[in-house]
Structure 1
């Protein structure tokens, strides 16, 4: 093989390699990292449980309190009883593969973000024993896979949205 052919083969291999890895969901780069960084930026973390959440380390599967699927998508966020305060960022709605959010027994305040209603794969949501206020978002009626919802021990007001009765998989509320 002459040098020109070898260089052409090498360039083709490099291009193919870049194309095959740049869109890979397993590398965690993209909207999930940005969503988690948004969540972190709105929270106060006095004991540093979110300390290793770093966009310079773009694999959220290695971050504490984050669970990922075999193909590298964020499917769980679990930080119960960690002394977290601040507010829950609307960017949580960009974790489109998430199935479980467990943030109970913290001091998170403000309104529950209506963007949670965009999480079509969400099965378990526990925001109990925080300082959330306002109403339960009506967008929760979009959570067709929701099985477990726990919001007790907050400062919520208003009625439970009647549309939650249409969530046929919801077993515990």
Structure 2
């Protein structure tokens, strides 16, 4: 394996060394800002996920005899939040790949690692929000009165479902 060789234009002159040092400091500042920004976003995601876990635990801890989302607005909100998390995850994945391939970054800079942690948090938050949404939908479906009766075969059931949608 060959070691990387960096050529610094004008490195032999004081002005060249100063220019190289300035560029390096700018890169270090950018790395620090990136890590701080991603860490802050990860904290927001953790708060959201923690709130969703507490909400789900409260729902599961006591019997609820009423439909929670009669018009579907709550589950629609969860669906929108899930879509937003998916878009954020895709964007962060692209940014992580860019950081991993950036030759100016070193492994010990921590940028790729902070993206990995952020992606893991986004995934966990998505999972718990999806679980809450599914719990509400299942709960409400179980409380709906049964429609129809018994069906002789799957075809009769499908016909009944399709007639309900009209």
Specify if TM > 0.5. Answer: no
The answer to which structure has the higher helix fraction is 2
How does the TM-score come out when normalised to structure 1?
A: 0.29
Larger Rg: 2
How does the TM-score come out when normalised to structure 2?
A: 0.30
Higher RCO, 1 vs 2 (CA within 8 Å, ≥6 residues apart): 2
